[in-house]
Amino acid sequence: MVLAEDLLNPHPAAEARKHKMKVMRLNYAHQTLTGFLLTKILQTLVPAPRSFFMDVKCPGCFNITTVFSHAQTVVICGSCATVLCQPTGGKARLTEGCSFRKK
């Protein structure tokens, strides 16, 4: 019986995807293109947050409210009590008709 992958010597890129960790620095001459790209994506020189604040305009009264992109509670308009966004597992989902801009 022949296995499709070598379990004793797994590919470094597959291990990085499985465990979501940084790929060890490898000799670039013997590395595949996908492994190289995965290494560059996982090793950022200056870590930056992926969240942001945004101004959300209410579709009913056109009032502007500041909302966090990863809000964990329901955000309601202060003047007309319309729901502006609802939390999900990650980013907050804006209600249809709401427009926004990053701050």
pLDDT digits (tens, 9 = 90+) for 78-97: 999 999 999 999 999 999 99
Structure tokens at 92: 């907050």
Structure tokens at 67: 């909302």
Angstrom distance (rounded) from CA 37 to CA 42: 9
pTM exceeds 0.85 = no
**Domains parsed from the chain with CATH numbers:** 1-48 (no CATH), 53-102 (2.20.25.100)
Task: For residue 98, give every residue at least 6 positions away whose Cβ sits within 8 Å of its Cβ, in sequence order, or none.
Answer: 56, 57, 58, 59, 84, 85
Name residue 100's beta-bridge partners.
56
Ranges of residues in the chain with a pLDDT under 70 are 1-3, 19-34, 37-38, 40-44
